[in-house]
Amino acid sequence: MIVAVVGPTATGKSDLALDLAEALSPGGAGPAGEAPAEVVGADAFQLYRGMDVGTAKVPPHERRGIAHHQLDVLEPTQDASVARYQTAARSDLDAIAARGARAVVVGGSGLYVRALLDEMNFPGTDPQVRARLEARAQTEGRAALYAELDRVDPAAAASIGPENTRRLVRALEVVELTGRPYTANLPRQEYVRPAVQIGLDCDRETLDARVAARVERMWDAGLVDEVRRLASPEQGGTGAGLGATAARAVGYAELLRWFAGDLTETAARDAVVANTRRLARKQMGWFGRDPRVQWLDAGSPALVDEALAVVRAAQAGELPAPGEGLVRRSLGS
């Protein structure tokens, strides 16, 4: 059974994942004969080489000898892709299982977690089909596209509505390319492999303090130099060395604005704190909508034991039905 540690940033997910990987390895709480557990990242920005301080990536010397996957696999100039991640990370899960080991997934990028654990398909694109549909939207109007989608996939039409041309075009493109309703390709809360999700939560005041402390540590650890080096390795410019995806990361986007003269250093630092707090609430909203997540208090002194109890209950089929367990709303409320 895959163990996933999810939740908002700054709640201690990486530390718990390492603790669980140790406990679930031989000599810990893992089954006899099981190989050492391995960690699979599910963080969109930890995929990038060199984006270390700003993404709170666990340094190699602090990984306790535990194998980590889906870290440092992209250059900062490349754009991340959920579909690429799904293929690569699921290959990691296959390889870990073949070694008789346990996979511990950790990350706060909700879509990446879902893509890894759940039934989620990524239909391709066809420029010619899309161009034809976009031309129809111009000549016939989006009402014609909506009527067609309503005929072939009423559920998708009801969800998208008649005003969103871009999504109408995409839905009809998927229908044409796959021969299936667009809704058949939408993610479902259905694990592709046995899994349990452990969510970390804490009250808003505590999380805000954790975020501020984390940003202070990042500043002291060299975040400014890291972003400056990545932004333009040769001349210290304002983004030449970062692709569109990497440049949007919290902690990087704000410093790029400072380097460009749009913010002072103090304003950039304050913006990093504010945007990290905003990110945490967004993450809580995402994971809070998944009734399968088993929530634990990030500040509990018995956190590791509580998490192991969740794993044992999941393996024994004794977890409460989705929606009937502990529901924490401190961040999502």
282: annotated binding-site residue?
Answer: no
Q: Is 11 annotated as a binding residue?
A: yes
Average pLDDT estimate for 29-49: 88
What angle, rounded to 10 degrees, do the helices at 110-117 and 82-98 form?
Answer: 50
12 is in an annotated binding site: yes
* CATH annotation of 206-283: 1.10.287.890
Q: Return the pLDDT at 332.
A: 44
* Higher pLDDT pick, 151 / 236: 151
178 in a labelled binding site: no
Dump the DSSP string for 14-61.
Answer: HHHHHHHHHHTSTTTTSPTTPEEEEEEE--TTTTBTT--TTTTPPPGG
7 is in an annotated binding site: yes
Contact 59, 47 (CB under 8 A): no
pLDDT at residue 53 above 80? yes
2-120+190-203+288-315 under CATH 3.40.50.300, yes or no: yes
Q: What rounded mean pLDDT belongs to the chain?
A: 92
Predicted pLDDT at 320: 79
Domain ranges of the chain: 2-120+190-203+288-315, 127-185, 206-283
Tell me the mean pLDDT in the region 138-156.
95
Residue with tokens 């040769």: 234
pLDDT (0 to 100) of residue 30 = 66
∠ at Cα 288 (287, 291), nearest 5°? 95
Residue 9 annotated as binding site: yes
According to DSSP, residue 79 is labeled P
CATH classification of 127-185 is 1.10.20.140, yes or no? yes
Q: What torsion do the CA atoms of 51, 54, 58, 60 make, to the nearest 10 degrees? A: 40
**Does the global pTM surpass 0.75?**
yes
Q: Looking at residue 123, what is its pLDDT?
A: 82
Q: What is the pLDDT of residues 225-272, one digit of tens each?
A: 999 999 986 544 445 589 989 999 999 999 999 999 999 999 999 999
Query: Minimal CA–CA distance to 181: which of 168, 172, 192, 190?
Result: 172
CA dist 145 and 151 (Å) reads: 10
Q: What is the pLDDT of residue 238?
A: 47
Instruction: Check if the beta carbon of residue 242 is closer than 8 Å to that of residue 77.
Output: yes
How far apart are alpha carbons 269 and 245 in whole angstroms? 20
Q: Where are the alpha helices (DSSP H) in the chain?
A: 13-23, 82-98, 110-117, 127-139, 142-152, 154-160, 165-178, 204-220, 223-231, 253-259, 265-288, 303-315
Residue 14 in marked binding region: yes
pLDDT at 187: 73
Side chain identity, residue 67: A
Higher-confidence position of 232 and 166: 166
Query: Cβ(276)–Cβ(162) under 8 Å?
Result: no
183 is in an annotated binding site: no
pLDDT number for residue 188:
83
Instruction: Write down the pLDDT at residue 47.
Output: 98
Contact predicate 199/287, CB 8 Å = yes
With beta carbons less than 8 A apart as the criterion, state whether 196 and 3 touch. Answer: yes
pLDDT of 34 reads: 75
For residues 46-66, average pLDDT: 97
pLDDT on residue 28: 73
pLDDT at 236: 45
